[in-house]
Structure 1
Amino acid sequence: MSEAIQVLEQIPSSRQKRHYESEAAVYRGAEPVLDKLQIHMDATSQHDSVLFLGTNSLPHTGSGYAQRTQSVLSSLIDEGWLVSAATRVQYPLNIGKLNSALKDRIGAVEYERLLPQIARHDLSGRVQQQADELLKKVIRDRPSVLHTTTDFTNALAVKAVSEATGIPWVYEVRGQLADTWLSTRPSSAADSERYRYFVEREAYVARSASFVLTLGEQMKHNLVETGVDADRIEILPNGIGEEFLKEPIEKGAARAQLGLDPEAFYVGTVSSLVPYEGLETVIRALARIKEHGKHVKLLIVGDGTEKENLIRLATELGIQNRCEFPGRVPREKAHVYHSALNLFVVPRVDNTVTRAVTPLKPVEALASCVPVLASDLPALRELIIDGETGHLVKPEDPAEWRRVIEMLRDNPEKVSNMGKSGRRFVLKTRTWSQNAKKLDSVYRSVINKPL
């Protein structure tokens, strides 16, 4: 960061330099400033009401993040909470949705857009505007608790509003975003100012929150390592709801709906197609599988930066006729694709992010009675019971993935039993309604406590 700013010192009145200086200031510790209200809002708050600030949401973004937000908020409403939701300042204009409405209702959840008339485009200005706009909404809606999610810029705005109003706030850590940033860059980036500051700021806001939520034990461990009190952390895992709570569609019927081969042994995923998902490993494994008995086919549902690379690799290996890439599919059809599979794969590469963060889609696969083959990484060990709900396989080892896929292709009874065990596991431990009860308890533990 410092070096980039120094380079731009040579350019008079550089807008880029001002942009970098603003970003560096936030990463180094700048925070939004709000005047404290004369009367704390906690004295006049609506009982059992939460204001949620998210980075994005349905219908403009269909990511796992947006789907988790929808599920969390819907389940809270079912639990009896009054939910007021907003997205980060300037969203969704900043992703090109220029004709979007000021509010969108998805099911029972209404999302308000924070769109100031004159938008700031530098980071410190955006965070300040986010705090200003959020404070207006807090004064109007009078929530009893505030809730936001990664990254730290969301948290800085909510922290400022909390300090101005006396309302407690909860920080939900959904990923290790500094490490996600690092995963797409050269290893030397681990020594950069940006990475170091990113890690420090995430730790700082987590320590500052009234309470912290996260996805799993490994992420909780990492938070404790940064100085967050373990007693102030609750695990809120990815869960299932809606269509995934219903009995899964019969495999043949699902394939008939989707126009898939009724006789093939389908291995696949429903995922964002990004490098750390490691899907190259499964394509290389498929190329090694000798065809006899049931044909093994690969179904990769989703979109992302790796899609064209994966298609190119399948073509180079001569197996393009055994690989299907339908692209991104409507959320309401995702469960049909899950049900059409024989095996769901999560071949993640081994890095800091994948060792800590548990994805959503394999939880939905287990709910669909589909066993999960996953890389043997700490976060995925929390989700997959090896030999019972799926198998844990050595990451980035096509030969081992081939061996396990062939073994299961030739043992349909084992596949069926593992699928049933997986569904029992998620129904018992990972539903959004169970998470809502945890959230209810967390909110009540922080309401009226001194900040």
Structure 2
Amino acid sequence: MNRILHVLDHSLPLHSGYAFRTRAILKAQEADGLEIRGITSLRHTAAGPDQETAEGLTFHRTRGTANGPTGLREWREIQLLADAIVKLAHSWRPDVLHAHSPALCGLAALRASRRLNIPLVYEIRAFWEDAAVGNLTTHEGSLRYRLTRSLENRVVAGADAVMTICSGLRDDLIDRGVPPGKIGIMPNGVDLTLFGDPLARDAALAAELGLGDGPVIGFIGSFYDYEGLDDLIAAMPSLLRKQPGARLLMVGGGPMEAALAAQAKASPAADAIRFVGRVPHAEVERYYSLCDIMAYPRKASRLTDLVTPLKPLEAMAQGRLVAASDVGGHRELITDGVTGTLFTADSPEDCADALAGLLARRGEWASIRDTARKHVAQNHDWARNVRRYQDVYQVLSKQDGNRRLPAAAA
């Protein structure tokens, strides 16, 4: 199976963790000899042509309008995307549909797969009902929560194969009754070709931000409640008692930005905390160069226990030390004391102790960085891991040898 159509919520040129994972997958598959295209749902809101090339990758856009009350509007979105997939398939003729969560993409791809008589792989990056809880837009057990979960179950049941990004998601599906043999794992990864030698500390930028000469704790990403950044700010007074020169650098933005800025302003450690807002993607490495430790204090929840984040892997690939809360998603990525440091989730005091302890072991930093980068190269390099998809596609090819778009349909 050489021609794969990826069904996506959105894509490049929009910038998001979702879009960057998609880029890494598609680039790695192209390098492995596959023909790749993507098609996006109505949720891709950036202006552009119906067929667009972004960073050398080809994406097709779904057009139309989905109006109406909640439920009916989403159903119309699904139908428009399904029709767009079928129309594209009649001209480009993919061998496999590879849909990526959310379930709206999966349901559209499932409809199209049955109309086209070609296999469907459905990939779950997170359970979106849990992500909505983490973003404070719903609560566990709500009607929206239960409906989203039901739609996900429907896609999983209908797909020919299911992929998840980590063991936590796979185990949860098995608990729901999905046969283990139907579910594979494609772990979060990084494109190591994007990471050369880490940049030297940008002294001019450090001076501009007033960081001084002490150690810098950094967070670069989106400011959501589940990220636990309030605990990181709350840890700073205790950390300063142990490491008076330490500074906290916060880069990014999001729903919690105003609340976090107010908390920092009221903190006894206010003078040691810097908020710089969002920065252009091309500038991010300059800010990484300032940080001795990247901190990921995620709160304990279903979302953080089941889902592995991408940011710690990127930090390891860039030669940064990593300190993270001991939620399940982090434990899948980080071995405490070997590739990073883990501390108790929802505990500012334990966060402060862990950071102070790591700062005090400067002599071990080179070894930890080297071990962490090797771990990423061996277990989370897209160039290597992407071949897991090819194994799944080949199995589907053998099982569904007669499932092909009829020549007359072209």
Q: Report the TM-score, using the length of structure 1 for normalisation.
A: 0.83
Any idea what the Cα deviations from partners look like across 1:304-332, whole Å, max 9, x if unmatched? 10111111101011433322222222333
List aligned pairs for 1:43-442, cutoff 5 A: 48-60=2-14, 62-89=15-42, 91-92=44-45, 97=46, 99-116=47-64, 120=67, 122-185=73-136, 189-241=139-191, 244-250=194-200, 252=201, 254-256=202-204, 259=208, 261=211, 263-290=213-240, 295-442=245-392
Deviation of 1:74 (Å): 0.9
Give the AA of the match of 1:52.
H
Find the aligned partners of 1:290 and 1:305 in 2 and give their Cα distance. 27
Q: Which moves more between the two structures, 409-418 or 279-288?
A: 409-418
3-state SS of the aligned residue for 1:179? helix
Report if the CA contact (8 A) 2:242-2:356 is conserved: no
Paired with 2:190 and 2:212, the residues of 1 have a C-alpha distance of 27
> Does the Cα contact within 8 Å between 1:263 and 1:294 map onto a contact in 2?
no
Structure 1 residue 184: deviation in Å? 4.4
Could you tell me how far apart the structure 2 residues matched to 1:57 and 1:296 are? 38
Partners of 2:306 and 2:242 in 1: how far apart?
38
Paired letter, 2:353: R
State the shift of 1:262 in Å. Answer: 6.1
Q: Aligned letter for 1:91?
A: H
Q: 1:417, CA displacement in angstroms?
A: 2.1
Equivalent pair of 1:278/1:349 in contact (CA under 8 Å): yes
Aligned-residue identity in percent: 28
Distance (Å, rounded) in 2 between the aligned partners of 1:447 and 1:159? 17
Over residues 42-70 of structure 1, what are the superposed CA-to-partner deviations in whole Å (9 max), with x where a residue is unaligned?
xxxxx50001111111212x111111011
CA deviations 1:262-311 (Å, max 9, x no partner) are 62211112211100000111111012223576611111121110111111
User: Residues of 1 paired with 2:67 and 2:398: CA distance?
Assistant: 34
SS of the residue 2:58 aligns to: strand
Aligned partner of residue 85 in structure 1, secondary structure: strand
Q: Which moved more, 1:131-140 or 1:236-245?
A: 236-245
Give the whole-Å Cα distance in 1 for the aligned partners of 2:359 and 2:187: 30
**Alpha carbons of structure 1 residues 447 and 340: separation in structure 2 relative to 1, 3 Å:** farther
Whole-angstrom distance in 2 between the partners of 1:399 and 1:190: 28
> 67-76 or 200-209: which moved more?
200-209
Query: Can you give the 5+ residue segments of structure 1 that lack an aligned partner in the other structure?
Result: 1-46
- Asked whether the equivalents of residues 99 and 123 of structure 2 are also in contact (C-alpha less than 8 Å), the reply is yes
Superposition pairs of residues 31-42 of structure 1, within 5 angstroms: none
Deviations 1:181-200 (A, max 9, x none): 2334599x433332222212
Q: Secondary structure at the match of 1:402?
A: helix
Cα RMSD over matched residues? Answer: 2.1
Separation (CA, whole Å) in 2 of partners of 1:79 and 1:422:
26
User: Secondary structure of the residue that 1:190 maps to in structure 2?
Assistant: coil
The answer (yes or no) to whether the contact 2:192–2:377 under 8 Å persists in 1 is no
CA deviation vs aligned residue, 1:209-240 (integer Å, no higher than 9, x gap): 11111111111111111222222222111111
SS in 1 for 2:53: strand
Residue 89 of structure 1 and its aligned partner are, at CA, apart by 2.9
Q: TM-score under structure 2 normalisation?
A: 0.90
| Cα distance in 2 between the residues matched to 1:398 and 1:151 | 33
The Cα of 1:365 is off from its aligned counterpart by: 0.5
How far 1:256 sits from its partner (Å)?
4.1
Pairwise CA distance, 1:127: 1.1
After TM superposition, give the deviation of residue 139 of structure 1 in Å. 0.8
Whole-angstrom distance in 2 between the partners of 1:72 and 1:210: 20
DSSP 3-state at the match of 1:344: strand
Closer, same or farther in 2 for the Cα pair 1:447/1:357, shift >3 Å?
Answer: same
